[in-house]
Amino acid sequence: MAEEYPINVNVKVYNEGIGNAFRKVAELGQKKEWTKLLETIDGDPQLINSCALVEKNTAHTLNTPLHHAALGSAPKEVFEQLLEMGSAKCLKNLAGETAYDIAAKSQLSQDILKLIEVPKEIKRKEAIIAKLEEGLHKVILGRVENLIKENGQALPQVAYLFEKGEFYYAVPGMYGGFRVTKNGDKGIVSSSWIRVCGGSGQEHEIDNDGNTKLVNEGFV
């Protein structure tokens, strides 16, 4: 089963309880309350790669708990527990920084840097991943650009696929989303559908140069 990509949207898209949960995780990270942060995530594992939702007069930061640990120079044990819970090392914040980038600038210990180093495959394929991401975003916007804008939704980072495996990117209001998988060495495949609309399925292949091709449609 594909892992759900940690989407980030305007707070109004979700109910108050979800918005509060995302906000709490971000606030605990900002306040360096590591024990409470870990306890909160342990109680709701889906928060492990969460970011504060966008509220009035604020913008995306895309700082995950791992980013907050790096920003707050957390002890090594905090990084270890976050990784055990499923923190993604590859995710970048709005400034384009991974937790490793932040930790390196802050001169955290080599032990911590080794723990949170971005997987070698992702670093080796950085240019290709950027092209794949460009193509995937084109496919998503081609289907639901209006909803992405309405939701204030951050588009997915393809590096996540190379660290965590295939993922499902849900789009609130679409009643469906995009399942993203590898296509061998040729690129990636995006399968998308709207659950309440029979025959809405579309499958796109995206090659390593970011070119997109509709290869199948009309499925449920």
Residue 10's domain is classified under what CATH number? 1.25.40.20
Least confident of 27-31, 51-55, 167-171: 51-55
DSSP secondary structure string for all residues of 171-211:
ETTTTEEEEEEE-TTSEEEEEEEETTSTT--EEEEEETTS-
Query: Which of 82, 100, 118 lies at the terminal end of a domain, its last residue?
Result: 118
pLDDT tier, 54 (very low <50, low <70, confident <90, very high otherwise): confident
Least confident of 11-20, 80-89, 166-175, 192-201: 192-201
CA distance linking residue 43 with residue 135, whole number of Å: 36
pLDDT in tens, 142-182: 999 999 999 999 999 999 999 999 999 999 999 999 999 99
Task: Count the neighbouring beta carbons within 10 Å of the beta carbon of residue 145.
Answer: 11
Query: Which of 102, 118, 134 lies at the terminal end of a domain, its last residue?
Result: 118
CA distance linking residue 67 with residue 61, whole number of Å: 10
pLDDT in tens, 56-98: 777 779 999 999 999 999 999 999 999 999 999 999 999 999 9
Same domain, yes or no: 34 and 101: yes
Region of residue 123 (left: phi > 0; alpha: psi -120 to 50; beta: else): alpha
Same domain, yes or no: 145 and 106: no
Residue 216 reports pLDDT greater than 80: yes
Q: How far is CA 142 from the centre of its chain?
A: 20
Per the structure, the complete domain to which residue 37 belongs is given by 3-118
E strand map for 96-175: 167-171
Whether 146 contacts 136, CB under 8 Å:
no
CA distance linking residue 150 with residue 12, whole number of Å: 10
Residue 220 reports pLDDT greater than 90: no
Same domain, yes or no: 64 and 104: yes
Query: Which of 118, 149, 180 lies at the terminal end of a domain, its last residue?
Result: 118
Task: Based on DSSP, count helices (H) and strands (E) in the chain, helices before strands.
Answer: 9, 6
Residue 44 reports pLDDT greater than 90: yes
Q: How far is CA 7 from the centre of its chain?
A: 6
Whether 9 contacts 152, CB under 8 Å:
yes
**Looking at the 3D structure of the chain, how many domains does it have?**
2
The reported pTM is 0.95
Same domain, yes or no: 111 and 159: no
pLDDT in tens, 96-149: 999 999 999 999 999 999 999 999 999 999 999 999 999 999 999 999 999 999
Q: Residue 51: what residue type?
A: C
Same domain, yes or no: 37 and 79: yes
Whether 162 contacts 90, CB under 8 Å:
yes
